[in-house]
Structure 1
């Protein structure tokens, strides 16, 4: 059978035309798909900028469905879920990312960090701890260690917190010696409560060696020594405090008065308090001086001290204490006036956290509000 060349000449243009149409169809489809994904992404971004988080999430979900391999969209979606408090959905997004075999190492570490944040925000501390431990050796290592430290402090796991603090200090991520001293003090207080006095004193001595300038360990040691009947040792410990941390002496002033009176060393303690009061007037130092000078007698004997303090700086607290020992022209109204002044002065005798402003009647080494260490000055609100 003879081959007709005319059919070949007719077929070539036809094949070329079909191929061209097919290519145009594929290109149009690809272009449409590429248009849809960015459109949804930018729509979600616009919603986010306008603080319309519900609409933003819907737009990002649409974008992820159109292009499930886009990791950035997954991260954006997961962060949105976490910000809205939908931690379960955030966890699913980040776990889906981690399950992908084609994820780069950088994105995998980023997803692991995001997952740890999800667990932290959700309060799942055990799962957060495991996720954070997996970030060792990654660019998120420093952040992970800080988060682990917060977890162990929150759960009062002081040995684990000490381990993390030591590793961070060894990696030159900051000076954590004072914080380690606090951990030892916390453990010492727990042992003292169980009656293990010798072990508690050993821990406090270790805390002083680790952070010689930190005042807490010396004050806690003196308090423990006084409680066990060794007033002389307690006084010796307190007399070392002004050289190590002079600003903390007002916190130890009442205990110093007690130990000085118990050991017959009132004159030595009084000289120390007066010297520091001249450099840094303080209500607590003033009360301690009055207690030692007057021997705990009537308030009338102390009013001269409060007048001298008022000459140095205005103080409603000092004025209230001075008025308590005075005789008024209308003495029948004295109790009502005294009560009113004491009520007005009461908030001024509190301590205030320098980090978050939380106020408390007693001094805290770690703020109950923001969990910051050493954020309470050793001075009352009125003196700040």
Structure 2
């Protein structure tokens, strides 16, 4: 049977036409899909800019379904879930990204960081710690260490907090010596509470060496020495504080007055407090001066010191203390007037956090409100 070449000649154009139609169909479908994906993406972006998060999430989910390989959409969706407080959904998005084998190193590190943030916001500190530790050696390492430090401080894991600050200091992320001194003080106080006086003293002394300008370590060390019966050593420790960090001296005044009287050095401390008061007038220094003046039997009256203070510093607190022993023309009304002044002056004797404004009757080394260290000045609200 002879092969008819005419069929080949007829078939070639037909095959060409069918191939061309198929390619046009595929290209049109691809264009439609690509057109739908950006449309959903821009729709979600528009909703996001208009703060319509519910509609934005729906649009981004549609875009992810049309193009599941788009990492940026996953990140946007995960961040939206986190902002809305839907931490479980945010975790699933970022874990899905991490499970992909084709994800690049940069995107993998970014997804790991986002996952750590999800756990932090959800309060899952154990999971957050594990996720943050995986960021060592990545571009997010510095941020991860800051977050880890916050976790360790929040959980009062002072040895781990000390270790992470040492890494941060070696990486030149800042000077953490003052904070390390606080960590040592926290551990020393725990040892002291359990009866380990020697261990506590060693840690307080290490804190002093770590941050010589830090007042807390010296004050706590002085208290420890006083309880151990070493009043003279305790007073010497506070006198060192007056030399290296005089701005914090008002916090040590009550203990210093007590120790000076116990060791017979009242006149020396009285002179020191007067010198410091002349440089930086303070209500606490003034109270110390008045207490020693009375205890040492000087000729001056406590009221005179408060009047001198009022001549240079208008103070409702000092005025109330002056009035306490003053005889009024209508003495029968003295208790009511004194009670009213004391009530009005009470808020002025508080300490205020310089970071968040949280006020407290006592001085805190770490603010209970914002957790910032050394944010409480050694001065009362009225003096700020």
Report the TM range for the smaller structure's normalisation. Answer: over 0.9
Is 2:222 aligned against 1:239? no
Counterpart of 2:333 in structure 1 is 333
Looking at structure 1, the residues matched to 48 and 319 of structure 2 have their Cα atoms a distance apart, in angstroms, of 56
TM-score normalised by the chain length of structure 2: 0.97
**Deviation readout 1:30-79 (Å, 9 max, x if unpaired):** 11111111111111111111111111111111111111101111111111
Looking at structure 1, the residues matched to 267 and 234 of structure 2 have their Cα atoms a distance apart, in angstroms, of 16
Does the 8 A contact of 2:266 with 2:296 survive in 1? Answer: no
Looking at structure 1, the residues matched to 218 and 46 of structure 2 have their Cα atoms a distance apart, in angstroms, of 58
Looking at structure 2, the residues matched to 194 and 7 of structure 1 have their Cα atoms a distance apart, in angstroms, of 102
- Matched ranges for 1:172-191 at <5 A: 172-191=172-191
- Matched ranges for 1:209-224 at <5 A: 209-224=209-224
Counterpart of 1:150 in structure 2 is 150
Q: How much has 1:241 moved relative to structure 2?
A: 0.4
Q: CA RMSD in A?
A: 1.5
**Deviation readout 1:71-110 (Å, 9 max, x if unpaired):** 1111111111111111111111111111000000011111
Looking at structure 2, the residues matched to 312 and 294 of structure 1 have their Cα atoms a distance apart, in angstroms, of 22
**Deviation readout 1:239-275 (Å, 9 max, x if unpaired):** 1001111100000011110101111111000111010
Instruction: For structure 1, list consecutive stretches of 5 or more residues without a partner in the other structure.
Output: none
3-state DSSP of counterpart to 1:341 = helix
3-state DSSP of counterpart to 2:301 = helix
Counterpart of 1:251 in structure 2 is 251
Does the 8 A contact of 2:238 with 2:252 survive in 1? Answer: yes
Counterpart of 2:59 in structure 1 is 59
Looking at structure 1, the residues matched to 241 and 101 of structure 2 have their Cα atoms a distance apart, in angstroms, of 60
Q: How much has 1:296 moved relative to structure 2?
A: 8.6
Counterpart of 2:7 in structure 1 is 7
Counterpart of 2:99 in structure 1 is 99
Is 2:312 aligned against 1:312? yes
Instruction: For structure 2, list consecutive stretches of 5 or more residues without a partner in the other structure.
Output: none
Looking at structure 1, the residues matched to 252 and 296 of structure 2 have their Cα atoms a distance apart, in angstroms, of 18
3-state DSSP of counterpart to 1:148 = helix
Looking at structure 2, the residues matched to 63 and 373 of structure 1 have their Cα atoms a distance apart, in angstroms, of 46
Counterpart of 2:40 in structure 1 is 40
Looking at structure 2, the residues matched to 340 and 112 of structure 1 have their Cα atoms a distance apart, in angstroms, of 59
Looking at structure 2, the residues matched to 200 and 355 of structure 1 have their Cα atoms a distance apart, in angstroms, of 30
3-state DSSP of counterpart to 1:374 = coil
TM-score normalised by the chain length of structure 1: 0.97
Does the 8 A contact of 2:273 with 2:285 survive in 1? Answer: yes
Looking at structure 2, the residues matched to 370 and 51 of structure 1 have their Cα atoms a distance apart, in angstroms, of 28
Counterpart of 1:379 in structure 2 is 379
3-state DSSP of counterpart to 1:226 = helix
3-state DSSP of counterpart to 2:46 = helix
3-state DSSP of counterpart to 2:175 = coil
